[in-house]
Structure 1
Amino acid sequence: MPDSGDVQAVKASNPGDSQVRVYAVAPRENADPDEIVDGFLEAMTSDDPGFATARKYLTKEAARVWKPEESIAVLTDAPNRDQADRMADPESKGRTFSLSGRRIATVDASHAYQPQAPAEFNQSIHVVQQLSPDGKSKEWRIDSLPKGLVLGEADFLRNYRSVNKYYFASGENWVVADPVYIRQRQDPVTRMDPVTQTVKALLEGPTGWLDSAVDSRFPTGTQLREGVTTLATDDQSTLKVPLNAKADHVSALACKGMAAQLLFTLGDLTSVRVEQVEVQGSDGKSLCMLGKAQAREEYSPVRNPGRGENPYFVDEHGKLMMLSVDGRQPDKPAEVPGPFGKGLVPLTYVAVDREESHAAGILQQGRELRVGSITADEELPAPIVTSSALRPDDRLSAPSWDGRGDLWVADRNPVRPRVWMVPGGQGERIEVSTPWLKDGARIESLRVSADGVRIALLVTKDHRTTLQIGRVVRGSSEGRTTVSVDDLRNAAPRLESVTAVSWAGPSRLVVVGTEAGGVQQVRYVQTDGSTSATSVLPGLNGVTSVAAPHSEASPVVADSGNDGIVRLVPGANWQPVVKEGGAPVYPG
């Protein structure tokens, strides 16, 4: 404790504790304008059903039109409330209070989180005097206020949690994660528990950004049966989901897909264990049932989802090697069969397909992309993609495989930068449409998600490297396949610069970057750009690349420069694995 110096008021900035609950307090009799505004701001952070207590601070008309479920403005801290400007509205004899802060995100009516670089938030609350219920006196109430909720980040994370809804990739039979935020406990507006909120959000359809790339097996208009606010599993861990009449006449195949969407979605909720889903029609009769194991086997974007994943790296001689990092002590790296393991042509970068049968290597100082077997000694085929850039750093990026078996790479040639996709890793290459790749923008690296619907890009523009998430759109024109990457959005706007990125599951990334004026950090980021207080990994200096598994069963590995390749096992700190070598990757 300090024993000298001045006393200063500071705002608490500790992370939101999901176990802490705030109970709203109604305005006291004859409360002054300051108390009314402060009481309302506090009541917005509560779980009060219908926000009934918060509405007591509002005039009757303001309470009627205020819709807290429509949007949330997320600030770095609780909003600052300035003193009232008494001269702002002398005619109404009201008071105007300014609210200010730094906005870092918004959440829309579809529960989608939209991050932004910290920006000034300036709104106001206006209070007036109105007759009290007994008609004998006047009391202060709010008659004008911001739309939706205004919460500091700590209160937001205390009240809301991120969950993944799942939809099917357009025209395909595997699922894609769509992250949204729901209430940690009962929703004040719908009175639904978290399980029911999650199912309701799934039935409402995908968020706007992902909508054009995915499909839902639920017929349009499908909702939970009227009056359902609680869903609970039975003693067999089976969840029965009663739907309205829109689902009554679905086919057995479509119903199975609906059940799969429910199982994948509910699998992200740690508060409930669902082993099987029973979809029910409007009359309560069972439409179909599906178990979790079957859903994973048939609809997971990762083939053989139960199989372990092995990390690979390029040793000091340019040879492809496989690591074994799951044990208490890492085993000695094993040489990989095939042309890349022999080191006949030194590798610069490498990517291993998700079947772990082939690898794509960048050779000749970035000039060539070749694909070869890593299970048999075969002759290395001719290059699939070449770059004519003069500088090695302007040539081909590290490649990436999606779960469909398609191969991606960026040619960083400043004369003509572009992205290539090679179907199956051996078909005729397709130039990907990237209309945003202009005006000096440059792709440093790319990583495609397992579902093939999203792509993580490190893009440098105006001397700043940012993490962008793009939506992959596939189509056809005149009998030819077309591919484009559309609607880029910054997934880590609070990072001043990003060095490396890797997918770490259906909707999570491991990112290496620095905040303005800060030191390098390794952290988890959701594809919607949201983070939590527990997302920062133990400190590690000089990281140039990072690789994470699709599941959490294997450790994160990274190239830490002078320390070589290191691993991070849950509950431990970074541990050295290999002193010489770099470019670690998991399949993908």
Structure 2
Amino acid sequence: MVLITGCASMPDSGDVQVVKASPRADAQVRVHPVAPRKGAEAQDIIDGFLEAMTSDDADFATARAYLSPEKSRTWQPQKSTTVLAVAPTTSFQPQANASGQLGKGYLMSGTQIAKIDDQQAYQAVAPEDYRFPIHVSRQGGADGEWRIDSLPDGLVLGQSDFQRNYRPVNKYYFASGRNTVVADPVFIQQRMDPVTKMDPVTQSVKALLDGPTNWLKPVVESRFPSGTALAKGVTSLTVDDRDVLKVPLNEKAANAGHAQCRKMAAQIMFTLKDLSAVRVAQIELQRPDGSQLCMLADGQEKEYASDQSAAGAKQYFVNEKNQLAVLNANDKETAVPEPVPGPMGTGQLPVGGIAVARDERTAAAVSTDSAKLYVEPVTMSGDIVQPVYISRGKLQHDRLTAPSWDGRGDLWFADRDLAGPALLRRPAGQELPQKVTIAPGLDGARIHSVKVAADGTRIALLLAKGGKTTLYIGRVERTGTQSDPVVSVDGLLPAAPQMVDVKAVSWAGPSRLVVVGRESGGVEQVRYIQTDGSTSASSVLPGLNQVVSIAASNNEGQPLVAHSTTDGIVRLPTGATWQMVVGVGKGTSPVYPG
């Protein structure tokens, strides 16, 4: 296998380096596989095949050359991808193949950290042993060439090779019954897809048209008519010299109305925003005959964003007097905290954990003893109203968590009362909170923190059990009628299984979280994690000691804000280091609206 750095073709001079696998994730590295040499030993065939799997040659032709004719025809590399911490190793294991044919058996092994299914959805798992047998036999008699005749479908890649070959992309669908979009993360090939021969733009659009992943499907809808696909024969979508992307669709979309078509185009525009190397000024959807369905200009898709307030959102915190205050400063100035209007800012109502509504007109806060939840305006003065909820927990840590607002105007929080723990939601415009069912249940775990996404369809829960706190992502399902809705959280998945303890979490974009935690045997760190549990080498942020809480905006250009018991309230502008904005002992609980 030939590795060429920073170049898509063979260099004119210099040495050719044979490697087993790329040592690190680098999108500029191209791995060119080498076909099996005549007379190669069985172990060489195994090694060559594992190396060829890390390449992206068309239809994995070189990898198939290491297989027996029958296995080459039936092997399905696109079925799934198993991600190991490092490239798989092999060891000799005497055995026969499934038909009893004598040959040589090998055990492929490693530590599995994730799996990508046939929908291109990534699912992280707690590190676990991966073991799978491979069998080789001579083809064409005793003097024939060794070839692999038994192995699993799909690819098996080390993490560095996976990150080199694949990249995350968010597909976008509409939240069920609403005109706001929800991100659905998948992985596509960095360059050309070996099976479909599609470039990243075309891969992204095809993945969108294929529909939402199974996990998200119960809570989202596509505005594309059922069965919509790229027009027959379309394998490449290119932006023209006016930055217009023309997308020919099949006959299933030919009769879409103008309003529906614009939403279809918005789904594509949102999806392609993740491909930073591609500049799309306008999307034109076309019928199979090339006639125009509709057009959508860059920026027009924003009317369907789930969080309309993220761009200019302020940073809030609780000052040393237990008042809700706001930091009115940009990244380059000294922050000047100012208490907000209303009882939460005047000191009439001392507050603990807080959440500011996304329109920044209302705030919710628990009392300093965590027993009562209040909802009050923060734009005008007024009298203190009665709490909207009171916990009966006997100890402070058995009472209420800090609340969280979604983009629908619903307020979420948890009561940790040992006698009746519950996840609760206070619907917009209503006074009384309602219990939310969690299926299939928490299995003895307690809710430590609640953070709901702006789209209102996903929720991040920190669950404490056995002295450890872990991060899960759940799906918010809404059934019943408009007058009698039933809301539940289902499909809980671990979002940071590699971390043995998570202290704090915040949403940091459409499908990204920022977490504070530590891995087994490691030190505490602040890092970004995708909602599917995937990470990258660049996701670890500058170190910060003794972090108690952290906050991020859905606008990824806004700085992170954190509370450290040793540094006070600090923030991290893009490309900078942590900067203190409020001294030690002068404030806690920094938040953005949400």
1:426 deviates by 4.2
Hey, what's the Cα distance between the residues in 2 that align with 1:517 and 1:82? 28
**Pick aligned residue for 1:505 from 509, 523, 540:** 509
Shift of 1:12: 8.1
* Higher mean C-alpha deviation, range 84-93 or range 54-63: 84-93
- Is 1:203 equivalent to 2:174 in the alignment? no
Task: Select 2:487's aligned residue among 466, 478, 483.
Answer: 483
Q: 1:525 aligns with which of 520, 526, 529?
A: 529
Among 443, 448, 463, the alignment partner of 1:444 is 448
CA contact (8 A) 1:498 1:513 kept: yes
Q: Is the 8 A contact 1:89 1:95 kept in 2?
A: no
Question: How many angstroms does 1:266 deviate by?
Answer: 0.5
Q: Aligned AA for 1:31?
A: A
Aligned to 2:308: 303
Residue 192 of structure 1: SS of its match in structure 2?
A: coil
- CA distance in 1: counterparts of 2:289 and 2:554, whole angstroms: 40
Distance 1:409 1:90 in 2: 58
**Match 2:198 to one of 179, 192, 196:** 192
Shift of 1:468: 0.5
- One-letter amino acid matched to 1:442: R
Residue identity matched to 1:141? R
Q: Is 1:545 the counterpart of 2:549 in the alignment?
A: yes
Q: Give how far 1:52 is off.
A: 0.6
Q: 1:81 to 1:382 in 2, by over 3 A?
A: same
Deviation at 1:462, TM superposition (A): 2.5
Task: Name the counterpart of 1:258.
Answer: 264
The root-mean-square deviation of aligned C-alpha atoms, in Å, is 1.9
Shift of 1:436: 4.3
SS of alignment partner, residue 438 of structure 2 = coil
Query: Residue deviations 1:28-79, cap 9 Å, x none?
Result: 1111111111110000000111101111111111011111111000000000
Q: Give the total of aligned pairs.
A: 574
Whether the aligned pair in 1 keeps the contact of 2:21 and 2:54 (CA below 8 Å) is: no
Aligned with 2:395 (options 365, 386, 391): 391
Q: Is the 8 A contact 2:314 2:328 kept in 1?
A: yes
CA contact (8 A) 2:80 2:115 kept: yes
Alignment partners' CA distance in 2, 1:311 and 1:11: 48
- Residue of 217, 234, 237 corresponding to 1:231: 237
Q: CA deviation at 1:429?
A: 2.0
Q: Does 1:130 align with 2:139?
A: yes
Shift in Å, 1:574: 1.0
Q: Is the 8 A contact 1:240 1:280 kept in 2?
A: yes
Residue 353 (structure 2) pairs with residue 349 (structure 1): yes
TM-superposition CA deviations, 1:143-174 (whole Å, max 9, x none): 10122000000000000000000000000000
Amino acid at match of 1:534: S
Pick which of 571-580 and 168-177 moved more. Answer: 571-580
Within-5 A mapping of 1:157-168: 157-168=163-174
The one-letter amino acid paired with 2:531 is: T
**Aligned pairs (5 A) from 1:50-199:** 50-85=59-94, 92-131=101-140, 138-199=144-205
Q: What are the ranges of 5 or more consecutive residues in structure 1 without an aligned counterpart?
A: 1-9
Looking at structure 1, the residues matched to 36 and 354 of structure 2 have their Cα atoms a distance apart, in angstroms, of 64
Q: Aligned in 2, Cα 1:13/1:311: closer, same or farther, shift over 3 Å?
A: farther
Q: Assess if the C-alpha contact under 8 Å between 1:224 and 1:244 holds in 2.
A: yes
CA–CA distance in 1 between the matches of 2:214 and 2:98?
40
Using the alignment, how far apart are the partners of 2:263 and 2:588 within structure 1?
A: 42
Q: Compute the displacement of 1:425 (Å).
A: 6.0
CA distance in 2, matches of 1:466, 1:223: 39
Q: Is the 8 A contact 2:21 2:87 kept in 1?
A: no
* Superimposed CA distance per residue, residues 92-133 of structure 1 (whole angstroms, 9 cap, x where no aligned partner): 33110111100000000000001100000000211111129x
- Provide the C-alpha distance between the structure 1 equivalents of 2:223 and 2:99, rounded to a whole number of angstroms: 58
User: Is the aligned partner of 1:287 residue 2:296?
Assistant: no
Amino acid at match of 1:124: P
Check if 1:413 corresponds to 2:414.
no
Q: What is residue 245 of structure 1 aligned with on the other side?
A: 251
Partner of 2:58: 49
- What whole-Å deviation, never above 9, does each CA across 1:224-281 have from its counterpart, x for those lacking one? 1122121111222211111111101112121111001000000111120112111111
Give the AA of the match of 2:299.
A
Distance 1:12 1:62, change over 3 A: closer
Q: Residue by residue, what CA displacement relative to the aligned partner does 1:449-501 show, whole Å, maximum 9, x if unpaired? A: 00000000000122221000000011225941211011101000000000000
- The whole-number CA distance in structure 2 between the counterparts of 1:528 and 1:77 is 20
Query: Which residue identity is paired with 2:64?
Result: R
The question of 1:212 aligning with 2:221 is answered no
Q: Is the 8 A contact 2:499 2:519 kept in 1?
A: yes
- Indicate yes or no: 2:590 matched with 1:584: yes
Tell me how far apart the structure 2 counterparts of residues 41 and 364 of structure 1 sit (CA, whole Å).
Answer: 58
Identity of aligned residues (%): 53
The amino acid across from 2:137 in the alignment is V
**2:463 & 2:170 partners in 1: Cα distance?**
26
Contact 2:406 2:453 in 1 (8 A): yes
Q: Which runs of 4+ in 1 moved over 6 A?
A: 10-13, 86-91
1:462/1:163 Cα in 2 relative to 1: closer, same or farther (>3 Å)? same
Distance 2:321 2:566 in 1: 17
Give the residue type in structure 1 aligned to 2:165: N
Deviation at 1:84, TM superposition (A): 4.9
| Unaligned 5+ runs, structure 2 | 1-18
Q: Does 1:38 align with 2:32?
A: no
- Corresponding residue number in structure 2 for 1:272: 278
Partners of 1:568 and 1:424 in 2: CA distance: 33
Q: Distance in 2 between matches of 1:52 and 1:230?
A: 21
Residue number in structure 1 paired with 2:579 = 575
- The whole-number CA distance in structure 1 between the counterparts of 2:438 and 2:32 is 50
Report the secondary structure of 1:348's partner residue: coil
Tell me by how many angstroms 1:570 deviates.
Answer: 1.5
Q: After alignment, is 161-170 or 249-258 more displaced?
A: 249-258
1:554 CA drift (Å): 1.3
AA matched with 1:38:
D
Instruction: Tell me if structure 2 keeps the 8 A contact 1:224–1:243.
Output: yes
Choose which of 542, 555, 558 in structure 1 pairs with 2:559.
Answer: 555
Q: Which amino acid aligns with 1:496?
A: V
Work out whether residues 384 and 426 of structure 1, in 8 Å CA contact, stay in contact via their aligned partners in 2: no
For residues 88 and 61 of structure 1, the distance between their equivalents in structure 2, rounded to whole angstroms, comes to: 13
Q: Alpha carbons of 1:90 and 1:112: their partners in 2 closer, same or farther (altered >3 Å)?
A: closer
Counterparts of 1:91 and 1:42 in 2: how far apart (Å)? Answer: 27
* Contact 1:418–1:437 (8 Å) recurs in 2: no
- Partners of 1:174 and 1:349 lie apart in 2 by 28
| Separation (CA, whole Å) in 1 of partners of 2:582 and 2:22 | 39
What residue number does 1:25 align with? 34
Tell me, in whole angstroms, the C-alpha distance in 2 between the residues paired with 1:520 and 1:12: 30
For 1:91 and 1:187, the matched residues in 2 are separated by: 36
- Residue 180 of structure 2 aligns with an amino acid whose one-letter code is W
Q: Closer, same or farther in 2 for the Cα pair 1:90/1:342, shift >3 Å?
A: closer
**Residues 81, 154 of structure 2: 8 Å contact kept:** yes
SS in structure 2 at match of 1:421 = strand
Partner residue of 2:336? Answer: 332
CA displacement at 1:83 relative to structure 2: 3.0
- Cα–Cα, structure 1 residues 343 and 456, in superposed 2: closer, same or farther, change >3 Å? same
